[in-house]
């Protein structure tokens, strides 16, 4: 292993044997031999990457691409069929929060059990006990059996134990959304504190904003293989572009299906910025219009639902145009949905459209996305929406 690396993954492959209907007892295996058929599913295919000391790396990719399997091999819960995984130093993982908790034991007793799994002795656990209880925000509930906890309390306690273990490498799998908004903010702040202390972090998340906020580099895994490794923003942009193409393909397939059904259709959808065809919004004061030709069933009142979705699939805005509950009596024509101003930050966006029958709730048209566009106006702030603010100092 190179001295600057903490993790080295070399040509790792992993497959699972899947039985559609497996017989477990000897009697079942003899009487129902056909149940013993299986299929080898290759989940990881020749993956290689490095993680340097003190670096934060995000693993991204769609569900089922092999991210969590890769993390389990990093923590030695699983072992590769071929290739090597080398890690230098003590590892703490946040994969299955609360694994090992006993429901009849108190929160305090479970802290001792769970922290010992991470390699802490009793003296070290005693030294961290108050920090764990305070971080979990459990108060007097810490002395109650865990079975009496809500799911949020259970997850907070498990997170608090794992995050307060001093480790050289922290491996996190899609669990930074535990608890309410304030607790999520506390978790992210704790993550940054751990990063600043020099701990190496490997993070899996479907939130691209979270990946770009927390990580230095990203590894994009697609169907068990590495598609790209590099600077976080660049890899995320490649991944989102790929996903957009996939969404557009699915849209085309869906459009063909709907054409066969002949429920309703739209055509010539376009984005107008200040009345002109354009796919770029350059100012928050721009007037943005979605314009399209619509054809649907006659004598059917409909409502129009439009959604604005950012490139990382965050829903930024949704509005239903229902004519004050009366619906619109239109079977054919040109429709224009207009936003008088557009205070969203720089990013690519999708505009989704649903046209629904007001009588029975049937979706006559369901286009996702119906149009894509880009906001290029910059601001020295972040989030989703641009809010005007000021500061006064006396």
SS3 353: strand
Strand segments, DSSP code E, in 322-388 are 328-329, 332-339, 347-357, 363-375
Tell me what the mean pLDDT of segment 162-189 comes to: 74
Tell me the mean pLDDT in the region 286-301. 88
Residue recorded with tokens 């799911």: 151
Lowest mean pLDDT among 115-119, 188-192, 249-253: 249-253
Structure tokens belonging to residue 357: 């029958």
Is residue 22 over pLDDT 80?
no
Q: Going by C-beta distance under 8 Å and a sequence separation of 6 or more, which residues neighbour residue 250?
A: none
Distances (CA, A) of 10 to 51, 72, 120, 213: 12, 15, 30, 27
Span 377-390, average pLDDT: 71
Query: d(Cα 311, Cα 153) in Å, to the nearest integer?
Result: 33
User: Which superfamily does 262-375 belong to?
Assistant: abc- transporter (atp binding component) like domain (2.70.50.60)
Q: For position 267, what pLDDT does the model report?
A: 87
Question: What is the predicted pLDDT for the residue at 258?
Answer: 46
Distance between CA atoms of 354 and 220, rounded to whole angstroms? 32
Please provide the distance, in angstroms rounded to a whole number, between the alpha carbons at the two ends of the chain.
57
- The Cα 88–Cα 332 span in angstroms is 66
Tokens 């946040």 locate to: 94
Average of per-residue pLDDT across 80-106? 83
- Say what angle helices 122-136 and 107-117 make with each other, to 10 degrees: 120
Query: In this predicted structure, what is the pLDDT of residue 166?
Result: 77
For residues 162 and 61, which has the higher predicted lDDT (pLDDT)?
A: 61
Q: What percent of the chain has pLDDT over 90?
A: 19
Backbone φ and ψ of 129, nearest 5°: -55, -50
Give the DSSP per-residue string, 173-217. Answer: ES-TT-SSHHHHHHHHHHHHHHHHTT-EEEEE-S-HHHHHHH-SE
The residue with greater pLDDT, 72 or 360, is 72
* pLDDT the model gives residue 252: 61
Extents of the domains making up the chain: 5-89+168-239, 262-375
Is pLDDT at 59 greater than 90 in this prediction? yes
Mean local confidence (pLDDT), 354-371: 83
Please write the tens of the pLDDT for every residue from 268-291: 888 898 988 887 888 888 898 989
Buried b (16+ CB within 10 A) or exposed e, 80-114: beebebebeeebbbbbebbeebeeeebbebbbbeb
Provide the mean pLDDT of the chain: 83
Options 3.30.379.10, 3.40.50.300, 1.10.1060.10, 3.10.180.10; CATH for 5-89+168-239 is 3.40.50.300
């Amino acid at each position: 292993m190179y001295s600057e690396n903490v993790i080295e993954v070399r040509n790792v492959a992993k497959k699972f044997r899947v039985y559609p209907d497996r017989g477990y007892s000897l009697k079942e295996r003899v009487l129902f031999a056909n149940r013993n058929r299986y299929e080898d599913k290759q989940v990881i295919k020749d993956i290689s990457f490095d993680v340097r000391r003190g670096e934060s790396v995000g693993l991204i990719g769609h569900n089922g691409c092999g991210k969590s399997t890769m993390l389990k091999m990093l923590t030695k819960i699983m072992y590769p069929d071929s290739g090597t995984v080398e890690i230098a130093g003590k590892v703490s993982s946040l994969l299955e929060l609360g694994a090992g908790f006993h429901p009849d034991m108190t929160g305090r007793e479970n802290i001792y059990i769970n922290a010992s799994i991470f390699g802490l002795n009793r003296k070290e656990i005693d030294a961290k006990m108050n920090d764990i209880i305070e971080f979990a925000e459990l108060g007097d509930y810490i002395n109650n059996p865990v079975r009496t906890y809500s799911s949020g309390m259970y997850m907070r306690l498990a997170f608090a134990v794992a995050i307060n273990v001093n480790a050289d490498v922290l491996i996190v799998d899609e669990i930074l959304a535990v608890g309410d908004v304030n607790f999520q903010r506390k978790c992210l702040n704790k993550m940054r504190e751990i990063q600043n202390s020099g701990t190496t972090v490997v993070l899996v998340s479907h939130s691209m904003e979270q990946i770009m906020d927390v990580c230095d580099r990203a590894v994009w895994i697609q169907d068990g293989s590495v598609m790209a490794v590099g600077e976080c923003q660049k890899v995320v942009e490649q991944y989102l572009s790929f996903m957009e193409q996939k969404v557009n393909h699915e849209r085309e397939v869906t459009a063909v299906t709907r054409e066969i059904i002949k429920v309703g259709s739209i055509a010539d959808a376009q984005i107008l910025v200040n009345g002109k065809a354009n796919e770029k919004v350059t100012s928050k004061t721009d007037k943005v219009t979605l314009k399209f030709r619509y054809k649907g069933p006659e004598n059917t009142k409909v409502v129009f639902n439009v959604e604005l979705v950012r490139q990382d699939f965050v829903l930024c805005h949704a509005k239903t145009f229902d004519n004050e509950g009366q619906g619109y009596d239109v079977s054919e024509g040109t429709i224009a949905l207009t936003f008088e101003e557009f205070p969203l930050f720089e990013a690519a966006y999708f505009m989704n459209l649903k046209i629904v029958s007001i009588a029975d709730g049937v979706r006559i048209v369901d286009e996702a996305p119906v149009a894509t566009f880009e906001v290029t106006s910059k601001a020295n702030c972040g989030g989703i929406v641009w809010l005007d603010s000021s500061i006064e100092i006396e």
